[in-house]
């Protein structure tokens, strides 16, 4: 199987799952990752010596690289996770999001289609799983949930680029018969997420007595799923998903951004033996993000009913474990927090974007 973006947060979780203790019957996992600011080989150290693991540094937009991989390896499956995924970065500059998320996805499905048509068993014998986000559906009010039938209404350049990539994949299923499965999920959390996303940023900042920037009044509501539950969901979609279908994976656990920051602050204080409330005093309200969606929530009943999947981890316990992981892994933090990462954080949160 080919895993694009396999050195990133979610991609590396999938690779570790597939090559982990539980036998998954996979003969080879080829990871293709450009190793930009979001991808790091440190995320794959636990599988680097596995003889089934192959790493290739490359860009999904580079057709010759992708064609060469398909020529060298008789892939049965593609798990496509490579993407630009930070909304803040897409607001600053959308170019990379259109290039990677739209053009890169087109290159992958087109090369896969042409390669697999020529192989024994044809397109029907192989699977292409495209990993997307709930943000393609826009925003919800205080009630309701997204379903697979919810019309697309993206509100950020990031969400629009992912919506476009979803539609490209769908078109290749309908036009050519490529056996695709599209998945959409809610906010992921857990170990090895780059500390520019909300929770790891708050954990690392609180531990260092730095400000905890909260957009607006922090009332935006998100649903949170542990990355390992999502990785298991993607494996289930690959092995049991019906070609041409899409599935939403969620946890049913919602919280406002303000509530999540407060919970993280309290957990950091508890782990570091600080007086209660110490880290909450670091909370700083900054101008709200442009076009900030109020609420996302997923109805994952289709995946639970048809695939037999369900999340195993509860937010209360898994969030505490996540905080402990970041506090205990200072070396990893140093490896992934590049100068470019620090420059982006300092510049973005200091701006008046009102």
pLDDT band at 22, cuts 50/70/90? low
Q: Helix/strand/coil (H, E, C) string of 8-47?
A: CHHHHHHHHHHCCCCCCCCCCEEEEECCCCCCCHHHHCCC
d(CA 24, CA 171): 30
pLDDT band at 348, cuts 50/70/90? very low
Instruction: Report whether pLDDT(352) > 80.
Output: no
Annotated catalytic residues are: 134-135, 158
Per-residue tokens: 180: 């695709």
Dihedral (CA of 34, 45, 207, 190) sign: positive
Answer yes or no: are the C-beta atoms of 12 and 79 closer than 8 Å: no
- 67 versus 195: the higher-pLDDT residue is 67
d(CA 146, CA 247): 11
Answer yes or no: are the C-beta atoms of 176 and 192 closer than 8 Å: no
pLDDT digits (tens, 9 = 90+) for 33-45: 999 888 899 999 9
Quick one: what percent of the chain has pLDDT higher than 90?
82
Answer yes or no: are the C-beta atoms of 251 and 311 closer than 8 Å: yes
Q: Which whole number is the average pLDDT over 297-322?
A: 98
Pick from 3-12, 21-30, 191-200, 339-348: least confident: 339-348
Q: Work out the mean pLDDT of the chain and round it to a whole number.
A: 92
pLDDT band at 196, cuts 50/70/90? confident
CA-based end-to-end distance of the chain: 45
What's the confidence (pLDDT) of residue 290?
85
Q: Which whole number is the average pLDDT over 173-185?
A: 98
Instruction: Report whether pLDDT(345) > 60.
Output: no
CA angle 149, 305, 303 (to 5 degrees): 55
d(CA 290, CA 95): 17
Chain centroid offset of residue 288 CA: 23
Q: Which whole number is the average pLDDT over 105-124?
A: 96
pLDDT digits (tens, 9 = 90+) for 321-342: 999 999 999 888 888 876 555 5
What's the confidence (pLDDT) of residue 225?
98
- 343 versus 55: the higher-pLDDT residue is 55
d(CA 119, CA 24): 23
Per-residue tokens: 43: 């995320």
CATH numbers and ranges of domains, the chain: 2-195+225-253+293-313 (3.40.50.720)
d(CA 322, CA 226): 9
């Amino acid at each position: 199987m080919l895993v694009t973006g396999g050195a990133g947060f979610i991609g590396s979780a999938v690779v570790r799952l597939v090559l982990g203790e539980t036998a998954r019957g996979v003969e080879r996992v080829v990871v293709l990752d450009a190793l930009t600011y979001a991808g790091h080989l440190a995320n794959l150290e636990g599988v680097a010596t596995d003889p089934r693991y192959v790493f290739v540094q490359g860009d999904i937009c580079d057709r010759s690289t992708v064609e060469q991989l398909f020529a060298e390896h008789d892939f049965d499956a593609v798990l496509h996770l490579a993407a630009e995924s930070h909304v803040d970065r897409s607001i600053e500059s959308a170019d990379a999001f259109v290039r990677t998320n739209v053009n890169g996805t087109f290159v992958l499905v087109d090369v896969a289609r042409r390669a697999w048509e020529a192989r024994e068993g044809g397109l029907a014998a192989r699977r292409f799983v495209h990993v997307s986000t709930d943000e393609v559906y826009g925003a919800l009010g205080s009630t309701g949930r997204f379903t697979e039938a919810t019309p697309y209404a993206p509100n950020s350049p990031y969400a629009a680029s992912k919506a476009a990539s979803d539609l490209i994949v769908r078109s290749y299923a309908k036009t050519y018969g490529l056996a695709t499965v599209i998945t959409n999920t809610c906010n992921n959390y857990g170990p090895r997420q780059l500390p520019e996303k909300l929770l790891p940023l708050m954990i690392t900042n609180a531990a260092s007595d730095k400000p905890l920037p909260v957009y607006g009044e922090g009332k935006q509501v998100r649903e949170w799923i542990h990355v390992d539950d999502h990785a298991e969901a993607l494996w289930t979609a690959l092995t049991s998903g019906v070609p041409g279908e899409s599935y939403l994976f969620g946890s049913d656990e919602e919280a406002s951004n303000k509530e999540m920051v407060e919970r993280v602050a309290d957990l950091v204080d508890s782990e570091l033996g600080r007086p209660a409330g110490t880290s909450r005093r670091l909370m700083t309200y900054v101008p709200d993000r442009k076009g900030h969606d109020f609420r996302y929530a997923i109805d994952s009943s289709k995946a639970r009913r048809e695939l037999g999947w369900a999340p195993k981890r509860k937010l209360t316990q898994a969030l505490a474990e996540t905080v402990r992981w970041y506090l205990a892994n200072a070396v990893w933090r140093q490896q992934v927090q590049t100068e470019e990462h620090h420059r982006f954080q300092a510049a973005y949160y200091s701006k008046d974007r009102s």
